[in-house]
Amino acid sequence: MLRPHPPHRLALHKDKTTGETLHHYTTANEPGGRLRLACGNRRASRCPSCAWTYAGDTYHLIRAGLAGDDRRDIPTAVRDHPRVFATLTAPSFGPVHNRPDHGTCRCGIQHATDARELGTALDPATYDYAGAVLFNNHAGQLWQRFTTRLRRELAARAGLTRRELADRLRVSYGKVAEFQKRGALHFHAVIRLDGPEGPGTPPPTWATAEVLTDAIRAAAAHSYTSVSVLAAGDQAARSFRWGTQLDVRPVKAFGDGSDITEQAVASYVAKYSTKASENTGTLDRRIGELAELDHHDIPDHTRRLITACRDLDRLYPDRRLWAWAHMLGFRGHFSSKSRRYSTTLGALRQARADYRSAQEAAVLGLEEREPDSVLVLTDWQYAGHGHTPGESALAITIARNLQLNRDTAREALHDQLILEGAHHHE
- How far is residue 256's CA from residue 260's CA, in Å, rounded to a whole number? 8
- Looking at residue 255, its pLDDT comes to 67
- Looking at residue 10, its pLDDT comes to 62
CA 368 to chain centre: 40
- Whole-prediction pTM value? 0.82
More confident residue, 45 or 173: 173
Has residue 31 got a pLDDT over 80?
no
Q: Are strands 83-88 and 185-194 parallel, antiparallel or unpaired?
A: antiparallel
CA 99 to chain centre: 26
Q: Per-residue pLDDT averaged across 236-265, rounded?
A: 87
Rounded alpha-carbon distances, angstroms, from residue 183 to 146, 156, 250: 22, 36, 28
Please tell me the chain's helix, strand, coil percentages from 3-state DSSP, rounded to the nearest 5. Answer: 45, 15, 40
Exposure letters 298-308 (e unless 16+ CB within 10 A, then b) = bbebbbbbbeb
Q: Are strands 21-26 and 10-15 parallel, antiparallel or unpaired?
A: antiparallel
- Looking at residue 244, its pLDDT comes to 93
Q: Per-residue pLDDT averaged across 259-269, rounded?
A: 87
pLDDT in tens, 163-218: 999 999 999 999 999 999 999 999 999 999 999 999 999 999 999 999 999 999 99
Backbone phi and psi for residue 145, each to the nearest 5 degrees, phi listed first: -70, -35
CA 296 to chain centre: 26
- How far is residue 329's CA from residue 319's CA, in Å, rounded to a whole number? 9
Q: How confident is the model at residue 377 (pLDDT cuts 50, 70, 90)?
A: low
Q: What is the DSSP letter of 233?
A: T
Q: Which run of H or of E encompasses 248?
A: strand 246-252
Around 129, how many Cα atoms within 13 Å sit in the side-chain half-sphere?
Answer: 23
Q: How many CB atoms lie within 10 A of CB 221?
A: 13
139, with CB counted inside 10 A (0-12, 13-18, 19+), is buried
Q: Which residues are CB-neighbours of 241 under 8 A, at least 6 positions away?
A: 91, 142, 223, 225, 226
pLDDT in tens, 290-322: 989 888 889 999 999 999 999 999 999 999 999
